[in-house]
Structure 1
Amino acid sequence: MDHSGHGTTMDLPPFTLGRGLAWSADPFFLVACLLGLALYGWAVVRLMRRGDKWPVGRTVSFFIGVLSIGLMMCTGLNDYGMVMFSVHMVQHMVISMVSPILILLGAPVTLALRALPPAGRGRKGPRELLLMLLHSRYMRVVTHPLFTIPMFIASLYALYFTPLFDYLMSSQVGHISMMVHFLAVGLIFFWPIMGVDPGPHRPGYLMRMLELFAGMPFHAFFGIALMMASTPMVTTFQNPPASLGVDPLADQNAAGGIAWAFSEIPSVLVLIALLFQWYASEQRQAKRTDRAADRDGGKELEAYNAYLASLHAPGK
């Protein structure tokens, strides 16, 4: 039985792109994606009706990020990902490394803080609760590099190289929990590095780059380990349905190649985003410096003019 709830996997035909992209929705992720899009859209509309602007690029980025989750979890990719290591690895990499980057560039927390109305004096509404969460000790811990980098690494090695993966894949709840974990780990790893939203940890740009590259080599090593393995390493994918015509070892090697490649692609995307953010920050700082210099220069000019006027005053 397919543990994601789409029926049996024993009669799955050989994988093709068309079959992988066919509609086959996981109810949990379908509802979650639709809810996320609806809430974001509501917030944007609320700002527009109020006369405030919200960057179109952020909206597009968020929507593509959520749709990328839907593509992984609400199509045939989710069915094939239950029995093919390579397809599962595509799901894992997109949900943990592509979707979080796009969602974070959409600045959903900033949008929520701007769109949610204050609850009023002495009361706590959604906006106040969100602010409390952002400033909580819990958030400071889970977004600290000493937590995010080990968690990012452990999500690969501690999951795939232990019986935990097989246990989670044995039930629908376990499978959903694992995918939610991938998304959450990706969000907390990339948020302090290139997220637009305010957060407890916001180091300088050079430090952010170091944090990014601290985790990626382990990601590449994981992919290489799968590619070089001479025996299947995950029980779940050791005996794929005969109808697929898949060699489990070759499929595992392909999964390793996918994991290795994804350690490079998101790194480049995040690095580009960081450089743009760094440049924009420098431009804003330069403008503030120029305005301060103009103000100081204006005061000096006024003082000099006053001095000249005093020289020509009667009795001087």
Structure 2
Amino acid sequence: MGLPELTGGRFLGYWDVDPVAMALVLLLGGAYAWGVVRVRGRGERWPVARTVAFSVLGLGTIVFATMSALAVYDRVLFWPAAVQNILLDLIAPIGLALGDPLSLAYRALPPRLAGRLRGAVSGRTVRLLTFPLVSSVLVVATELSVYFTPYFETALRVRAVHEVMYLHLLLVGCLFVLPMLTREELLPAWCTHPVRAALVFLDGVFDAIPGVVVMTSGTLVAGHWYAAHARGWGPGVDLDQQIGGGAMVAIAELVGLVFLIAVFAEWVRAERSRTAELDRRLDAEQASPAASATASASEPDRVRPWWETDPGQVGQRFRSSGR
């Protein structure tokens, strides 16, 4: 029996549990919760906003993309599948990155394990994959390869390939987003916050390319599959693809704006942290005994006339003349 016409009510009410996606969400959520409990158990602070971002925007987007009506209808309509993919590729990585899971892991894990993780993350392979231009090209290339190779249609036919595609999109999105928002050690030294903002702006332009290509392409994406699963309702195959491409462009541009705002917010936070650290260092230097002794020793020289302390000939003449 075919699926009924997709309406607003069915879009909100139709859900289908994806065991693999659910296992991933539970694994990531459980590990993050363990880290938060461990850090707070030592009396340290972990921002609630980061936990909310990771749980709601990150894991919540994964659940919505893989188990909502988008997943129920992606085999009979193209546009739900297109929205699914863009959510996993762009929005979910932003939520996960805003949760800053690597910093949490460094603080929660035992020193030895934290050191191994830091070494793996800062290794040559990871640094290459997270290099801004490389990761941005990977995102665009992944989207284009999904739709214009047999990859997507194979994913519709084979459930295991579909799950691999989900994970592929999520990982590629994280390669670009995670360093831009939280992990400075993954970026080159020249990639300062202003440069990051410029790269994110350009990435927003690049992310619209797959949607534009899908929307304007004369080649039907998985055309044989969708033609074989014809419906008596909804848009035709051509219009369905145009709607999907348009949704990809709209979401990519909206996410690009949100991403840019998030980068600026991280920039402001980093500057405040640097300023606070500098203030603490200056206060500590002024309060130290050595600084106080130096200040006390130099104070008489500050109030005495210049010629009494000047070692040059002019000072000596002034002192010998009785000034």
Residues 76 and 231, structure 2, Cα contact 8 Å, conserved in 1: no
What's the offset of the Cα at 1:48? Answer: 1.7
Match of 1:307 among 296, 301, 309: 301
Structure 2 residue 214 is the aligned partner of structure 1 residue 226: yes
SS in 1 for 2:187: coil
Structure 2 residue 204 is the aligned partner of structure 1 residue 216: yes
Structure 2 residue 272 is the aligned partner of structure 1 residue 286: no
Counterpart position of 2:255: 266
User: Given the superposition, is the C-alpha separation of residues 255 and 207 from structure 1 closer, same or farther in structure 2, using an over 3 Å criterion?
Assistant: same
Counterpart position of 1:165: 152
Residues 110 and 198, structure 1, Cα contact 8 Å, conserved in 2: no
Q: Which runs of 5+ in 1 are unaligned?
A: 1-9, 120-125, 312-316
Q: Map Cα deviations across residues 237-285 of structure 1 (whole Å, 9 max, x no partner).
A: 3444324443111111110111111221111111111111212222233
User: Which protein shows a greater Rg?
Assistant: 2
Q: Distance in 2 between matches of 1:302 and 1:287?
A: 27
Q: Distance in 2 between matches of 1:252 and 1:53?
A: 48
- More displaced, 58-67 or 142-151? 142-151
Residues 211 and 246, structure 2, Cα contact 8 Å, conserved in 1: yes
Match of 1:100 among 93, 100, 121: 93
Identity of aligned residues (%): 30
Structure number with higher relative contact order (C-alpha < 8 Å, ≥ 6 residues apart): 1
Residues 148 and 185, structure 1, Cα contact 8 Å, conserved in 2: yes
Structure 2 residue 26 is the aligned partner of structure 1 residue 34: yes
Match of 1:147 among 134, 158, 165: 134
Output the aligned Cα RMSD: 2.6
Q: Distance in 2 between matches of 1:76 and 1:26?
A: 12
Match of 2:186 among 200, 219, 224: 200
Q: Distance in 2 between matches of 1:268 and 1:303?
A: 57
Structure 2 residue 123 is the aligned partner of structure 1 residue 136: yes
SS in 1 for 2:186: coil
Q: Distance in 1 between matches of 2:219 and 2:5?
A: 22
Q: Distance in 1 between matches of 2:197 and 2:63?
A: 29
Structure with the largest fraction of helix = 2
Counterpart position of 1:23: 15
Q: Which runs of 5+ in 2 are unaligned?
A: 306-323
Counterpart position of 1:123: none
Structure 2 residue 105 is the aligned partner of structure 1 residue 112: yes
User: Given the superposition, is the C-alpha separation of residues 309 and 89 from structure 1 closer, same or farther in structure 2, using an over 3 Å criterion?
Assistant: same
What's the offset of the Cα at 1:97? Answer: 0.7
User: Given the superposition, is the C-alpha separation of residues 76 and 292 from structure 1 closer, same or farther in structure 2, using an over 3 Å criterion?
Assistant: closer
User: Given the superposition, is the C-alpha separation of residues 201 and 225 from structure 1 closer, same or farther in structure 2, using an over 3 Å criterion?
Assistant: same
